[in-house]
Amino acid sequence: QRIGVPREIFPGEKRIATVPDVVEKLIKLGFTVTVESTAGEAANFSDDAYRAAGADIVEGAAALWAQSDIVLKVRPPSAEEVALMREGGTLISFIWPAQNPDLMQQLAAKNVTVLAIDCLPRTLSRAQKMDALTSMAGVSGYRAVVEAANAFGRYFNGQITAAGKVPPAKVFIAGAGVAGLAAIGTAASLGAIVRANDTRAEVADQVKSLGGEFVKVDYEEEGSGGGGYAKVMSEGFQAAQRKMYAEQAKDADIIITTALIPGKPAPKLITAEMVQSMKPGSVIVDMAGEQGGNCELTVPGEAVVRHGVTIIGYTDLASRLAKQSSTLYATNLLRLTEELCKAKDGHVVVNMEDDAIRGLTVIKDGAITWPAPPLKTA
């Protein structure tokens, strides 16, 4: 079968769903691979690099989609892309079925099979190698610190120089999931004093092991909902949390917020008043912009200055490190393709008896199979 990789058409999207090193491995599994001309350019992968890895290069999306049995993508396809898709073909991509019911209907009408990488059952340890949400969150957390450092007018690390003593920057991280932990590790490695908070007490040890200090809210309530994910906290907890965050905001030079609750708007943790209390030149990076933001003053997708504080609400942090995120994403998809092609004969078999594959498969031969039943083994 032929695997095709189109150029991402979402405005500003720089990632691509495969990279030359992975093309070689897909070919070893027995597939032929086509890449749309210039599709890798924004991530620093040239047509020549894909050719050298054994891929065919075609001009234009129409030709790419027409000849591909299996299409690998990053962003959910547009209506135009769905129209180009081959009847009976297979698509592997981020889909977000709950947020995109129309797209699901369009795809089903095409009689295709769709594997949504965002629907991977992440609690299966076997699924970790395919967990693109984790790899993209890791890249984003790193990039959030790089963005903060770029907008911040001082060093992160303390220094004693001939020109005087420089104090280390203080970084406060709200939410210590995958992205928050990556941000903690990155900020600590630059030499900042890092503090972090999460409603799930279980992350305290991970915060410490990455060089951060866990700051507790003075209120007894466990924040774990189902499957290791957060829940909405009580009014009492939220009031106590606001008090603690107000103290941290006055002290911090940089705040990075990553707090999300599955299926709910992002909790508002940083009020306008807290922003106002920060030192001029401070920076907030709000990673929850797409879900409404953790800070009241965030403008999703933009960097703005409010009360002398730069508030960065970029929603494309992984794309801003396109070579790295494309490489990790491509590797996640390679691991998935290996699971789908155990015979190494260049043919994909979607085995609905396999927990991980069942979870990912949101449309099978035109029939919507999302949401998957709960895991038997979880």
Number of residues that bind ligand NAD (CB under 6 A): 29
Amino acid at 212: G
Site for ligand NAD in 217-246 (CB under 6 A): 223, 228-230, 233
Separation of alpha carbons 332 and 188, rounded Å? 27
Segment interacting with ligand NAD, rule: CB under 6 A, options 18-26, 44-52, 176-184, 248-256: 176-184
Write down the H helix ranges in 85-228.
Answer: 101-109, 132-151, 178-189, 204-209
User: Of these, 23, 71, 260, 333, which contacts ligand NAD (CB under 6 A)?
Assistant: 260
Q: Note whether 257 and 284 are within 8 A (CB).
A: yes
Task: Kindly state the smallest distance separating residue 269's Cβ from ligand NAD, in Å.
Answer: 6
321 is a site residue for ligand NAD (CB under 6 A): no
Restricted to residues 79-118, the positions that interact with ligand NAD (CB under 6 A) are none
Contacts of 309 (CB under 8 A, 6+ apart): 275, 278, 280, 281, 282, 283, 284
Q: Is 261 in the site for ligand NAD (CB under 6 A)?
A: yes
**Token pair belonging to 86:** 């081959």
* Residues facing 303 on adjacent strands: 312
Provide, rounded to whole angstroms, the least separation between the CB of residue 190 and ligand NAD. Answer: 21
Give least dist CB 11 to ligand NAD, A: 24
Q: What is the identity of the amino acid at 260?
A: L
Contact between 249 and ligand NAD per CB under 6 A: no
How far apart (Å, rounded) are the C-alpha atoms in residues 250 and 77? 44
Q: Which residue is nearest to ligand NAD (CB)?
A: 177
Number of helices and strands in the chain (H, E):
12, 17
Binding mask 31-70 for ligand NAD (x = CB under 6 A): ----------------------------------------
- Give the DSSP per-residue string, 6-51: PPP-STT----S--HHHHHHHHHTT-EEEEETTTTGGGT--HHHHH
Residue in the structure block whose two tokens are 């979870």: 359
Among 32, 38, 100, 128, binds ligand NAD (CB under 6 A): 128
In the list 36, 198, 339, 355, the residue contacting ligand NAD (rule: CB under 6 A) is 198
Residue 362 belongs to what H/E stretch? strand 361-364
Question: Per CB under 6 A, does 131 bind ligand NAD?
Answer: yes
Q: Which residues bind ligand NAD (CB under 6 A)?
A: 122-123, 128, 131, 134, 137, 174-180, 197-200, 223, 228-230, 233, 258-262, 267, 269
